[in-house]
Amino acid sequence: MKAMLMTAVKQPLAVREIPDPQPGPGQVRVRLRATGVCGTDIHVWHGELPVPLPIVPGHEPVGTIDAMGPGAGSWKVGDRVGVSWFQGGCGRCVYCQKKKAKFCAQPKTWITNGGGYADYMIAEAEGCALVPDNLAWDIAAPLFCGGFSAMSAYKTAKPQVGERIAVIGIGGLGHLALQIAKSMGHEVVAITNTAEKVKDARERLLGYINDELLNHPTRCAEPETPLFDDGWIDSLKILQLIAYVELMIGRNIPDEEIVMKNFRTATAIVQHFGAK
């Protein structure tokens, strides 16, 4: 099969012919139809996330199952699937035994099985999810990292009916988080200092953005910077929130705790400072 190999840090990926992979116990082989390019792929290419080389990158893959190993469960050849980054744990460590496999020190991922920049890839059967027939491949692919991350944050935050949600930044994850929250019936506020993203946000009805805040970034620290039609928010609290999350990341706090604190605090900020 053809594959895009990363053979060295900060060097162009190389097209190579390599043997077709064969699924082992509990695995499936996926004929790839599309694979997204994630910001983390860039970190990998720069060597900021070390991986064994050579390697086939790509962790937002979608395609059809074309071969199955023994014990691959209820999957069928021809199933449309996507594969997540985390595909399973080792099954033996303390976290796996506690049913917290996502903290496993030896997880099964695209790094161990090979990524999606190829004709085929191997995936753990438990790491696959069905893709609806009416969802285009190129739309589905980014959902298996960016979409998964944004939805995980939403579910971890456990927002209640009627709560207003603020999303900081309208990047690859942020625009998905906005759409998810909006589709769940929340009033959504998009916080950004990038003027180019305002038009897209308004066209998609993602949230409310104050143009004055974009034109006068120094006003972010003022205690009564207008942000909502019906009130205001102390944007300094948002800056403090970002600093807090960065501090937690530096302390190696589990991601789920960072996400929970991030979204809960952002929601609380809007609730408590959103009405003057």
Phi, psi of 179 (to 5 degrees): -65, -40
What is the pLDDT, as a whole number, of residue 176? 87
Buried b / exposed e over 133-162, threshold 16 CB at 10 Å, is eeeebeebbbbbbbbbbbeebbebbebeee
In tens digits, the chain (276 residues) has pLDDT values of: 999 999 999 999 999 999 999 999 999 999 999 999 998 999 999 999 999 999 999 999 999 999 999 999 899 999 999 999 999 999 999 999 999 988 998 999 999 999 999 999 999 999 999 999 999 999 999 999 999 889 988 998 888 888 888 888 888 888 888 888 888 988 887 777 777 777 777 666 555 554 444 444 433 333 333 333 333 334 444 444 444 444 444 444 444 444 444 444 444 444 433 333
What is the pLDDT, as a whole number, of residue 209? 52
Dihedral angle sign, alpha carbons of residues 110, 68, 30, 255: negative
Assign residue 190 the CATH number of its domain. Answer: 3.40.50
H-helix or E-strand spanning residue 110 = helix 110-113
- How many independent structural domains does the chain possess? 2
What is the pLDDT, as a whole number, of residue 164? 85
Q: Are residues 133 and 163 in the same domain?
A: no
What is the pLDDT, as a whole number, of residue 64? 98
Which domain does 266 fall in, by range? 146-273
What is the pLDDT, as a whole number, of residue 166? 83
Q: Are residues 177 and 212 in the same domain?
A: yes
Cα 68-16-108 angle, rounded to 5 deg = 40
Q: Are residues 247 and 192 in the same domain?
A: yes
47 by DSSP, 3-state: which?
Answer: coil
